[in-house]
């Protein structure tokens, strides 16, 4: 079974609108971390936001927020007021375990296109 | 100031050759990783090192040999390159025990094997 599922291969949104990118995860470990990364066409991987499994509040970073629904095992990324520069591939990732040397497991990504 | 850097950015080579990719981080992190991104953009862990010691080797062919001369550097050497090795290779680093343990990625090296 996939540990990270991103069901939207592609999403379109108009500039200034909000968009939600879906991510569901599968783990039996009570301690885990969820991450979102952005990969623009230039290729680099840019860290956006982090949510820990024990965090009581949803994470926010500027225009990015993470809608964390633990019972549903979902960690959707919400981008408010989309900008043209938000057009990129977005990856959800999970680190299982408290910390230490756990590596990231990535989803297949969602390509977001923002139109004027 | 570059946090995680990789050289070269592009690498084009013939099958059967041996090549290396270098990675350096100036973040003071103690753990470094190599990930491979295939043509479908899927990212998968290859190796992780902590303080120059190999921690994780995710069933990578032994033609791939990581080397960490110090905790700021993690190089990837690939012997007898094959067509299937064509991919983008990302180095990443993190500071263990800092809460999120966020991994910061280098710019990637696009390897093309002809």
Share of chain B above pLDDT 90, in %: 70
Could you tell me whether strands B10-13 and B109-113 are parallel, antiparallel, or unpaired per DSSP bridges? Answer: parallel
């990625």: which residue's tokens? B105
Check CB contact under 8 Å for A103 and B45: yes
Taking residues B43-64, report their average pLDDT: 86
Asked if residues A87 and A95 have their Cβ atoms less than 8 Å apart, the reply is no
- CA angle in degrees (0–180, nearest 5) for B69-B74-B80: 100
Residue A2 predicted with pLDDT over 80: no
In this predicted structure, what is the pLDDT of residue B51?
80
Residue A1 predicted with pLDDT over 70: no
Contacts of A95 in chain B (CB under 8 A): 101
Q: Which tens digits make up the pLDDT trace of A70-83?
A: 999 999 999 999 99
B50-54: Cβ within 8 A, 24+ apart: B50/A101, B50/B96
Residue B1 predicted with pLDDT over 70: no
Q: Which tens digits make up the pLDDT trace of A14-56?
A: 999 999 999 999 999 998 999 999 999 999 999 999 999 999 9
Please enumerate in sequence order all residues whose Cβ is within 8 A of that of A84, keeping only pairs 6 or more positions apart, or say none.
A15, A114, A116
How far apart (Å, rounded) are the C-alpha atoms in residues A112 and A8? 9
* Radius of gyration for the alpha carbons in chain B, expressed in angstroms and rounded: 13
Taking residues B72-85, report their average pLDDT: 96
Among B37, B41, B86, B107, residue whose Cα is nearest residue A10 = B41
In this predicted structure, what is the pLDDT of residue B26?
94
In this predicted structure, what is the pLDDT of residue B98?
60
How far apart (Å, rounded) are the C-alpha atoms in residues A87 and B89? 22
A64 at the B interface (CB within 8 A)? no
Check CB contact under 8 Å for A89 and B41: yes
Chain B residue set in contact with A, beta carbons under 8 Å: 31, 33, 35, 40-45, 48, 50, 55-56, 58, 88, 90, 92, 96-97, 99-108, 110
Q: Which tens digits make up the pLDDT trace of B95-114?
A: 776 666 789 999 999 999 99
Share of chain B above pLDDT 70, in %: 94
Residue A57 has which token pair?
């509040």
How far apart (Å, rounded) are the C-alpha atoms in residues A45 and B58? 21
How far apart (Å, rounded) are the C-alpha atoms in residues B114 and B112? 6
């756990």: which residue's tokens? A102
Higher pLDDT, A103 or B87: B87
In this predicted structure, what is the pLDDT of residue A111?
97
């Amino acid at each position: 079974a996939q540990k990270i599922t991103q069901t939207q291969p592609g999403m379109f949104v108009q500039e200034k609108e909000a968009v939600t990118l879906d991510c569901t995860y599968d783990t039996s470990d009570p301690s885990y971390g969820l991450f979102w990364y952005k990969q623009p066409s230039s290729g680099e991987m840019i860290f956006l936001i982090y949510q820990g499994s024990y965090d009581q509040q949803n994470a926010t970073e500027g225009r990015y927020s993470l809608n964390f629904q633990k019972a549903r095992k979902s960690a959707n990324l919400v981008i408010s007021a989309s900008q043209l520069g938000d057009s990129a591939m977005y990856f959800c990732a999970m680190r299982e375990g408290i910390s230490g040397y756990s590596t990231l497991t990535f989803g297949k990504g969602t390509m977001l296109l923002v139109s004027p | 100031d570059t946090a995680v850097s990789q050289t070269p950015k592009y690498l084009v080579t013939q099958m059967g050759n041996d090549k290396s990719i270098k990675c350096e981080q100036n973040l003071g992190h103690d753990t470094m990783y190599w990930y491979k991104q295939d043509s479908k953009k899927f990212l998968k862990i290859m190796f992780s090192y902590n303080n120059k010691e190999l921690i994780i080797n995710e069933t990578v062919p032994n033609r791939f040999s990581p080397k960490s001369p110090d905790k700021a550097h993690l190089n990837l050497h690939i012997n007898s390159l094959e067509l299937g090795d064509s991919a983008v290779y990302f180095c990443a680093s993190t500071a263990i025990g800092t809460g999120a343990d966020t991994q910061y990625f280098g710019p990637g090296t696009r390897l093309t094997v002809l």
